Structure 1
């Protein structure tokens, strides 16, 4: 398969975040273009943000590189140093192991889309910058804990 018909991909919504954190991703959907094309070494997803929606909680990856290119609308990139608007054709890169949390928020009145390409490491740790949480991804389900590895509270 070479050409991928994006109109035929099932949009995925929701979040793997635990508890009340999952609701913060309302208005975010994704198209798993890389999966549809059979890619195994890296992921390629199109993230769709409704007005007011955000891509994720602000985070950084220990083992995975991430590349983003805005394909429709405009988004605000939120990082440790502050925020910066990104528009169609603009790109951002997040090298593995750089502890600078990032996320994207659609602060406009129109839908925004961006392409995310990232490594598929066999073992990954993502650390969340604004809350005491990290996730370990590997075999099986994601495991969310506090930064020090202790369990999260039930009311998160």
Structure 2
């Protein structure tokens, strides 16, 4: 299966975020590429961000490397140290354990498209969020930073 038919892979804007943190990602539409193609050693998602949408809450992973490749459009990469415009062909990476919270924000008036790559479930040792009182655990829970469970589960 050398070339993917993206239209054959289901697209969703589902989020497991607790309700109070979900609004900014409602315009994030993604396809999980790895499960649909039999890939097991890493995760890959094809993501469309509608104008005004965020890719996620600003987050980091304890045990998972991440890479983002912009395909089309424009978005703002927001990190602890500042903001950078990302355009087609731009690449950003975050090594596992780096607590530099990051996400994309589509401030433009057009869709942007990117591919996100990571280690997937085998590397998921949890992580956290820079701007909100939330952590995620390897077993799929969201908790406050002092360990209280939110009534929500991460979507694999």
TM-score w.r.t. structure 2 length? 0.90
Question: In terms of mean alpha carbon deviation, does 59-68 or 10-19 score higher?
Answer: 10-19
Deviation at 1:4, TM superposition (A): 1.4
Deviation at 1:132, TM superposition (A): 1.3
Partners of 2:113 and 2:138 lie apart in 1 by 25
Deviation at 1:153, TM superposition (A): 8.9
Partners of 2:114 and 2:32 lie apart in 1 by 12
Q: Deviations over 1:37-68 (max 9, x none)?
A: 11111011111100110100000000000000
Contact 2:60 2:98 in 1 (8 A): yes
Partners of 2:26 and 2:133 lie apart in 1 by 21
Q: In the alignment, which residue of structure 2 is the partner of 1:13?
A: 13
Q: In the alignment, which residue of structure 2 is the partner of 1:144?
A: 142
Alignment of 1:80 with 2:80, yes or no, is yes
Contact 2:141 2:149 in 1 (8 A): no
Aligned length, in residue pairs: 151
Q: In the alignment, which residue of structure 1 is the partner of 2:91?
A: 91
Deviation at 1:85, TM superposition (A): 0.3
Contact 2:18 2:151 in 1 (8 A): no
Contact 1:128 1:134 in 2 (8 A): yes
Structure-2 change in CA distance of 1:62 and 1:37 (3 Å): same
Deviation at 1:7, TM superposition (A): 1.9
Q: In the alignment, which residue of structure 2 is the partner of 1:39?
A: 39
Alignment of 1:105 with 2:105, yes or no, is yes
- Which consecutive unaligned segments of at least 5 residues does structure 2 have? none
TM-score w.r.t. structure 1 length? 0.90
Instruction: Provide the alpha-carbon RMSD of the alignment.
Output: 1.7
